[in-house]
Structure 1
Amino acid sequence: MPEGKIIKALSGFYYVYDEGRVIQCRGRGVFRKQKITPLVGDNVVYQAENDLEGYILDIETRKNELVRPPIANVDQAILVFSASQPDFSPLLLNRFLVLVEYKQIEPVILISKADLLDEQSLEEIEQYVAFYEQVGYPVLVTSAITNEGTSKLLQYVNEKVSVIAGQSGVGKSSLLNVLKPDLQLKTNEISKSLGRGKHTTRHVELIELEEGWVADTPGFSSLEFQDIEVEELSDCFPEMRERSIDCKFRGCTHVAEPKCAVKEAVENNEIPAFRYEHYKEFLQEIRDRKPRY
Structure 2
Amino acid sequence: MPEGKIIKALSGFYYVLHHDQLIQCRGRGVFRKNKVTPLVGDDVVFQAENELDGYILEVKERKNELVRPPVANIDQAILVFSAVEPDFSTVLLDRFLVLVEFNQIIPIICISKMDLTNQEQEKQILNYADQYKEAGYEVILTSSETETGIEQLQPHLENKISVFAGQSGVGKSSLLNVLRPDLDLKTNDISTHLGRGRHTTRHVELIWVGNGLVADTPGFSSLDFNEIEAEQLTNCFPEIQRASENCKFRGCLHVSEPKCGVKEKVESGEIPDYRYEHYLNFLQEIKDRKPRY
In the superposition, the TM-score normalised over structure 1's length comes to 0.98
Following TM superposition, by how much is the alpha carbon of 1:289 offset from its aligned partner in structure 2, in angstroms? 1.4
Query: What one-letter code is carried by the residue in structure 2 that aligns with 1:133?
Result: K
Query: What one-letter code is carried by the residue in structure 2 that aligns with 1:31?
Result: F
Which residue of structure 1 aligns with residue 195 of structure 2?
195
Which residue of structure 1 aligns with residue 102 of structure 2?
102
Aligned equivalents of 1:28, 1:140: Cα separation in 2: 42
Which residue of structure 2 aligns with residue 279 of structure 1?
279
Secondary structure at the counterpart of residue 144 of structure 1: coil
Structure 1 runs not aligned, ≥5 long: none
Following TM superposition, by how much is the alpha carbon of 1:229 offset from its aligned partner in structure 2, in angstroms? 1.1
Which residue of structure 2 aligns with residue 84 of structure 1?
84
* 1:1-293 → structure 2 map (5 Å cutoff): 1-293=1-293
Aligned equivalents of 1:210, 1:21: Cα separation in 2: 18
Aligned equivalents of 1:255, 1:29: Cα separation in 2: 49
Aligned equivalents of 2:32, 2:224: Cα separation in 1: 28
Aligned equivalents of 2:57, 2:232: Cα separation in 1: 37
Secondary structure at the counterpart of residue 242 of structure 1: helix
Following TM superposition, by how much is the alpha carbon of 1:290 offset from its aligned partner in structure 2, in angstroms? 1.6
State the number of aligned residues.
293
Query: What one-letter code is carried by the residue in structure 1 that aligns with 2:173?
Result: S
Following TM superposition, by how much is the alpha carbon of 1:82 offset from its aligned partner in structure 2, in angstroms? 0.1
Aligned equivalents of 1:19, 1:146: Cα separation in 2: 36
- How big is the alpha-carbon RMSD for the aligned residues of Structure 1 and Structure 2? 0.9
Following TM superposition, by how much is the alpha carbon of 1:167 offset from its aligned partner in structure 2, in angstroms? 1.0
Aligned equivalents of 1:251, 1:258: Cα separation in 2: 12
Runs of 4+ in structure 1 deviating by more than 3 angstroms, as ranges, are none
Query: What one-letter code is carried by the residue in structure 2 that aligns with 1:122?
Result: E
Following TM superposition, by how much is the alpha carbon of 1:29 offset from its aligned partner in structure 2, in angstroms? 1.9
Aligned equivalents of 1:185, 1:270: Cα separation in 2: 41
Following TM superposition, by how much is the alpha carbon of 1:222 offset from its aligned partner in structure 2, in angstroms? 0.4
Quote the sequence identity (%): 67
Aligned equivalents of 1:52, 1:229: Cα separation in 2: 45
Cα offsets for 1:167-209 (capped at 9, x unmatched): 1000001111111111111111100111100001111100111
Aligned equivalents of 1:181, 1:144: Cα separation in 2: 11
Aligned equivalents of 2:31, 2:287: Cα separation in 1: 37
Aligned equivalents of 1:25, 1:230: Cα separation in 2: 41
Following TM superposition, by how much is the alpha carbon of 1:54 offset from its aligned partner in structure 2, in angstroms? 1.2
Aligned equivalents of 2:72, 2:265: Cα separation in 1: 36
Query: What one-letter code is carried by the residue in structure 2 that aligns with 1:210?
Result: G
Aligned equivalents of 1:151, 1:52: Cα separation in 2: 37
In the superposition, the TM-score normalised over structure 2's length comes to 0.98
Query: What one-letter code is carried by the residue in structure 1 that aligns with 2:68?
Result: R
Aligned equivalents of 1:109, 1:258: Cα separation in 2: 34
